[in-house]
Structure 1
Amino acid sequence: MTEFKRIPPAQAHALREQGAVVVDVRDPQTFNAQHIPGAQHLDNHSIADFIAKADLDKPLVVVCYHGNSSQSAAAYLVGQGFSDVYSMDGGFELWRNTYPDETVQSTAE
């Protein structure tokens, strides 16, 4: 069985530039306040729909606060059939410190 890989923000950035899907598993309020551009918010309510519509072979980078919860989420997604899954070490906090100009706020929907 395929397992997820742990990667630093620089590798996550490169994968994102190459078209990888970025998913953020932080709480909705924190995600809306600031997140990686193009990231999709995933929670218990949206994950089934995300999995149903996703390309299981497309690289997938999972982001959380500090890099811990994303490992559990990445392992779950591998178990759901995703073949190329990454957990970003350091989470959004390290991304924000590494790429301070590459964060956005959600617009009101």
Structure 2
Amino acid sequence: MTFLLIALVVLLAVSIFRFYRQRTYLNGLTEEQFREGYRKAQLIDVREPQEFERGHILGARNIPVTQMKQRLVEMRKDKPVYLYCQNSSRSARAAQLLHKKGFKDIYQLKGGFKKWTGKIKTKK
């Protein structure tokens, strides 16, 4: 029982540490803030291709978080990166990977695509 309690406390501490550390390199933006800057940046949808095809922000490229390590060469470290997924959890994982690989200017759409009210594009 004591071991379980210690493990739970350690897990909680690690989660809290990651949350606060993430805030140092990942900037969460409202939809309005996101719109102001994404055209001058790399707009990346980190959802899976079938989700992307059902609808995505106009101008976005699809680089799923599951493929991001292999596709880093498609992204530039000298330009801001604007990420989004369905609700923000996968874009946070993508941001962590990008940060580890030396990307500095990383932004995330708060609430993800499901909260987006702007223009979208769908595949026919």
Shorter-chain TM-score above 0.5: yes
Q: TM class by shorter-chain length?
A: 0.7 to 0.9
Which has the larger displacement, 85-94 or 71-80?
71-80
**Structure 1: unaligned runs, 5 residues or longer:** none
Kindly name which structure, 1 or 2, has the bigger radius of gyration based on alpha carbons.
2
Please name the residue that 1:37 is paired with. 58
Percent of paired sites with the same residue:
30
1:106 is paired with a residue of what secondary structure? coil
Q: How much is the aligned-residue C-alpha RMSD, in angstroms? A: 1.9
Distance 1:46 1:84, change over 3 A: closer
Distance 1:46 1:3, change over 3 A: closer
Deviation at 1:106, TM superposition (A): 3.2
Which contiguous aligned blocks of 4+ residues in structure 1 show a shift greater than 3 angstroms? none
Q: Is the 8 A contact 2:58 2:121 kept in 1?
A: yes
Which has the larger displacement, 35-44 or 2-11?
2-11
Deviation at 1:46, TM superposition (A): 5.4
**Structure 2: unaligned runs, 5 residues or longer:** 1-20
Please name the residue that 1:3 is paired with. 25
Distance 2:89 2:31 in 1: 14
Q: Identify which of 21, 28, 31 aligns with 2:42.
A: 21
- Which structure is higher in helix share? 2
